[in-house]
Structure 1
Amino acid sequence: MGVSDPESDKLTGRSFVASAIRNLLPKDVVDLQPDLVIHCSSQPVTEYNNPSFFPGLYPTLFPYGLGGFEIKSRRTALAFKKQAKYFLSVSDRAFRYHNSFIFVLLNILQRRQAHLQTYFTVGKSNFDSVARKLTTVSPILLERLAIKLEHERKLVDPTAEERNALQLLQQVNTMSARIPGSQASKIFVRNEIRNYYGYFGLPHIFFTFNPSPAHSPVFQVMFGDKTVDLSEHFPAMPCGRERALRLAQDPVAAADFFEFSFRSLFRHLMGWDFEARCATASGGILGHVRAFYGSSE
């Protein structure tokens, strides 16, 4: 089990169009039901607005059936992504040590980006007319067209309203969200880097930052090993096999180690103040840094 289809190219074009049509519907007309469903049976369980989904999926992690996602009765609304981050940060490491919980979380977040952020684009010359005509299409008609397109059914004897709606769809393009790891996200990063060139000029230095958690005593402490003494110049650490097993067991600690190492490098060597978002008064080994840009693989 893992993240699959980051480009969403295995989904049919009709599914994307149906998703974009549903996102045109007013929020008071339809609730946030899934518009793209990965079917595993004739009646799949919804993962949207379903607080019992994760407690039912992982009874060992939610032994009392409580603590699911998107509970509407909460006094303060809690986003799915923020609650997922909390589960992976609690002192009880059962969530991060589970063999599939992290992968399911990431898959759901990835699908939601593809489902709920699909939208239409239209040429500037046709924008006013297309926008005006789209507002005249009823939500019921949009829902009916979305269902037919989603199931790839042919429109037999379409009504005049359906023909007009389909003609409007021919004048727009369906765009999906910037999914991390997809080609669209890479293009977005490249464009941002080019914008930095235009504002700050060409960068003076390029380097690859690749700290190794398996060989770092700091990671062993983050993993929970209290026998490692960081005050020593060469702390005693477990054997290489044990360190590799720890890295595979706790990828969240590895991500925390990377974040800690990256911030420490820029704060103490480059002289960057993350709170003020500018260089410190004393600067770093390269002087006063005006800006930097980094992306993770």
Structure 2
Amino acid sequence: MDMQAVKARALDHLMTEGKTLGMGHSAQPESMYDNPQAYPQMFPWLFPYGMGGFENENIVGHKRKLLLYHDKRFQTDVYFPIVAFNHAQMKSSSTSSFLVAKRAKFPDIADRLLGLNLPVLSSISERMIEGEIVKPVTQDEKDCFDVLTDVDSVAGKVQGSLTSKKFMRNEIWALTSFMGAPTWFITLSPADIAHPLCLYYAGSDMKFSPDVLSHDARYLRISSNPIAAARFFDYIVKAFIKHVLGVDSGHPGIYGETGAYYGTVEQ
């Protein structure tokens, strides 16, 4: 059921005097840090008894367990997977991000940071966010761009961040320098809606029994369960590395002995 259908169903339920669940709102927003009740309050239909929030230190592992829950209600919820992922991104960026600068330039950069025109910096930031190609014209704008050039934001532990991609490029260059230029460039694009394993991951059957479904039925099942598609992609890539490339398999790959490999996921 897409969002338009959900809204239409909700409106019909409201107009026909269907029962509703009243949710209280506080004047202050809830914190997502050290707050076991945050997720039960956000998703009462997933935590019907108000229990099961994130109380332990391994929050990522807890979220993974919920996303593999047997009835798949966490997998197929419209908001839970993306909210859980976004919270993980925000926590990583707030605890793992910092600014770095070259040691020789540090005193000069510190002085220039203190002397920046903040309204000009805010204006540049807003124009960049809107997609405008900003070129410095005034001296204040040039000072801001000089600092942006000399200072780098390090968020290597944040998945998908620009810094994490920069780290990956450095690893690729280092591997190429050590092992030589790669022999093969391989692109994988597993067809999840056409593979029985992905359909099994997205279904509710306990026993693997492939069924012949129509294209629309397969598309609907996979599109409503992104976790199943992600599990399928992970399985196919790991199987390719082990059985096709022969890594940690005890036998050569179909392309011969694999000296090294490096894989990335398109974002």
Other-structure match for 2:33: 48
Matches within 5 A, 1:163-178: 173=151, 175-178=153-156
Structure with more of its chain in helix, by fraction = 2
Q: From 175, 186, 191, give the equivalent of 1:212.
A: 191
The structural deviation recorded for 1:46 is: 0.8
Q: Say whether residues 1:187 and 2:156 are aligned partners.
A: no
Distance of 2:52 and 2:211 partners within structure 1: 40
Q: How big is each residue's C-alpha offset from its partner over 1:180-232, in whole Å with a ceiling of 9 and x where there is no partner?
A: 333222222211111110111111100101110101112122223659977xx
Match of 1:249 among 212, 224, 229: 224
Deviations 1:58-93 (A, max 9, x none): 111111111111x2xxxxx43221111111112121
Distance 1:106 1:124, change over 3 A: same
1:288 to 234, 246, 257: 257
Runs of 4+ in 1 over 6 A off after TM superposition: 227-230
Greater relative contact order: 1 or 2 (C-alpha under 8 angstroms, separation 6 or more)?
1
Q: How does 1:145-164 map to 2 (within 5 A)?
A: none
1:78 aligns to what SS in structure 2? coil
Residues 117-126 or 45-54, more deviating = 117-126
Q: Give the distance between the partners of 1:61 and 1:116, measured in 2 at CA.
A: 28
2:193 touches 2:219 (CA, 8 Å); kept in 1?
A: yes
Matched, 1:110 2:89: yes
- What are structure 2's unaligned runs of at least 5 residues? 1-24, 108-117, 119-146
Q: Percent identity?
A: 31
SS in 2 for 1:257: helix
- Return the offset for 1:262: 1.2
Could you tell me how far apart the structure 2 residues matched to 1:183 and 1:126 are?
23
Matched, 1:271 2:246: yes
Instruction: Find the counterpart in structure 1 of residue 98 from structure 2.
Output: 119
User: What number of residue pairs does the alignment pair up?
Assistant: 202
Q: Does the residue aligned with 2:34 lie in a helix, a strand or coil?
A: coil
TM-score (norm 1): 0.61
Structure-2 change in CA distance of 1:285 and 1:112 (3 Å): same
- For residues 107-165 of structure 1, the C-alpha deviation after alignment (integer angstroms, 9 at most, x for no partner) is 111111221122242433488x9xxxxxxxxxxxxxxxxxxx9xxxxxxxxxxxxxxxx
Matched to 1:175, the amino acid is S
Contact 2:153 2:163 in 1 (8 A): no
Task: Report the RMSD for the aligned CA atoms in angstroms.
Answer: 2.8
CA distance in 1 between partners of 2:34 and 2:216 (Å): 42
**AA matched with 1:243:** R
TM-score (norm 2): 0.67
Unaligned runs of 5+ in 1: 1-39, 72-76, 130-148, 150-169, 274-279
Q: Which residue of 2 aligns with 1:78?
A: 57
